[in-house]
Amino acid sequence: MQRRTLGGQGLEVSAQGLGCMGMTYAYGSGDEQSGLATIQRALELGVTFLDTAEIYGPYTNEQLVGRAVAGRRDEVEIATKFGFSFDPDDPYGPRGLNGTPENVRRACEGSLERLGTDYIDLYYQHRIDPDVPIEETVGAMSELVQAGKVRYIGLSEAGLDTIRRAHATHPLSAVQSEYSLWTRDQEEVLPTLRELGIGFVAYSPLGRGFLTGQIRSTTDLPAGDWRRTNPRFQEEALRQNIALADRARSLAEERGVTPAQLALAWVTAQGRDIVPIPGTKRRERLEENAAAAELQLSDDDVATLRDAIPATAVMGTRYRDSEMGLLGR
């Protein structure tokens, strides 16, 4: 697996990461042993950039990652996130945002303990708290860097003004947001990131699994899967969106690769400052995804895919209305 550099502060990660969220959270029931085996197989393949968060579970995902890398801490780059306030006993219940310096410090200590480490490679604010100036939140994150508890910092789903103000307070190494063939609004953010020398981490680069071509109905999703409530996966939207996934499948078949591999290669081809973090629970899907890191697309290939799956043709917002309001602040 090749390596890429995120930002101008020296953070080097594998060219493709692994989103660990679905191993314990949001996408139906998880199996701990399968999750552990998948993470350990990722390390064998050179996929060393692992993404988790306090809210995933809550807590259980960080614990899983910590167990998976025990004794191998120096082989991995761990990214985790803070920023939500929630009831750990009701993970799908009401939640708010908390970007106060006190919560930054509290959350970091908890993450360090659950991950079984004394430092976090990349620490993100998961969502921007509009009630706390970003300078205060990032100032507290900067103190964690100075204390050696965090190596690099970033933001997730932040707006341009917030990114600039945060970066002026302490250099950001990465911004993480959703980006794929069917979610391309971050292309309005990328020029600013490049101007400032900030890397970009693309979550859900497979359209939450949709671009694999395997989801044809909400009944294909397990009970308890968060996607059952997602606007893009509702039946009317799904019928229209399937046509887009089928175009990706046809193009992948022409090239002798899977739809997932083609979609991942497209994201990777958008720039060496971009690192996709596809998530999976299963080793076979991990191996399929990792192979895409070696797939080279020509400029014509990239353009053909962009034209075949116009983002404007996708039906449905990428989150429910209440969650969309948390983006781009």
How confident is the model at residue 2, as a pLDDT? 96
pLDDT bucket at 273, cuts 50 / 70 / 90: very high
Q: Half-sphere exposure of 198 toward its Cβ, with a 13 Å CA cutoff?
A: 30
* Backbone torsions φ then ψ of 158, nearest 5 degrees: -95, 155
- Percentage of the chain modeled with pLDDT above 70: 99
- Percentage of the chain modeled with pLDDT above 90: 88
CA 138 from chain centre, in angstroms, equals 20
How confident is the model at residue 93, as a pLDDT? 72
Rounded mean pLDDT, 229-251: 92
Q: Is the model's pLDDT at 319 over the cut of 70?
A: yes
Q: Determine the Cα–Cα distance for residues 278 and 100; give it in Å rounded to an integer.
A: 30
Q: Determine the Cα–Cα distance for residues 116 and 73; give it in Å rounded to an integer.
A: 9
DSSP symbols for 278-295: -B-S-HHHHHHHHHGGG-
How confident is the model at residue 88, as a pLDDT? 76
Rounded mean pLDDT, 306-322: 92
Please report, for residues 23, 56, 259, 264, the alpha-carbon distance to residue 26 in angstroms, rounded to integers and kept in the order given. Answer: 9, 8, 23, 22
Q: Determine the Cα–Cα distance for residues 232 and 6; give it in Å rounded to an integer.
A: 30
Q: Determine the Cα–Cα distance for residues 176 and 155; give it in Å rounded to an integer.
A: 6
Rounded mean pLDDT, 140-168: 98
Q: Is the model's pLDDT at 25 over the cut of 90?
A: no
How confident is the model at residue 91, as a pLDDT? 65
Contact 273, 4 (CB under 8 A): yes
Q: What confidence tens digit (pLDDT) does each residue in 243-256 have?
A: 999 999 999 999 99
Q: Is the model's pLDDT at 92 over the cut of 70?
A: no
Instruction: Locate 328 and state its tokens.
Output: 């781009």
Q: Is the model's pLDDT at 94 over the cut of 80?
A: no
DSSP state of 258: -
Examine residue 58 and say whether the peptide bond preceding it is cis (omega within 30 degrees of 0).
yes
- Helix-then-strand count for the chain, H and E: 11, 12
Q: Determine the Cα–Cα distance for residues 324 and 229; give it in Å rounded to an integer.
A: 13
Q: Is the model's pLDDT at 313 over the cut of 70?
A: yes
pTM score of the predicted model: 0.96
Q: Who contacts 117 (Cβ-Cβ below 8 Å, separation ≥6)?
A: 66, 73, 78
Q: Determine the Cα–Cα distance for residues 24 and 59; give it in Å rounded to an integer.
A: 10
Q: Which domains does the chain have, with CATH numbers?
A: 3-324 (3.20.20.100)
Q: Write down the mean pLDDT value for the chain.
A: 95
DSSP symbols for 39-51: HHHHHHTT--EEE
Q: Determine the Cα–Cα distance for residues 85 and 227; give it in Å rounded to an integer.
A: 22
Active site residues: 56
Q: Is the model's pLDDT at 265 over the cut of 90?
A: yes
How confident is the model at residue 157, as a pLDDT? 98
Q: Determine the Cα–Cα distance for residues 280 and 285; give it in Å rounded to an integer.
A: 7
Rounded mean pLDDT, 286-294: 97
Rounded mean pLDDT, 57-62: 94
Contact 104, 140 (CB under 8 A): yes
pLDDT bucket at 152, cuts 50 / 70 / 90: very high
Region of 148 (left: φ > 0; alpha: ψ -120 to 50; beta: rest) is: left
pLDDT bucket at 161, cuts 50 / 70 / 90: very high
Give the helix ranges, DSSP H, for 154-258: 160-169, 190-196, 235-255
Contact 175, 152 (CB under 8 A): no
The closest of 136, 78, 133 to 104, measured between CA atoms, is 136
Rounded mean pLDDT, 227-237: 92
The closest of 273, 256, 253, 276 to 265, measured between CA atoms, is 276
Look up tokens 């939500």; give the residue.
84
Q: What confidence tens digit (pLDDT) does each residue in 104-128 have?
A: 999 999 999 999 999 999 999 999 9
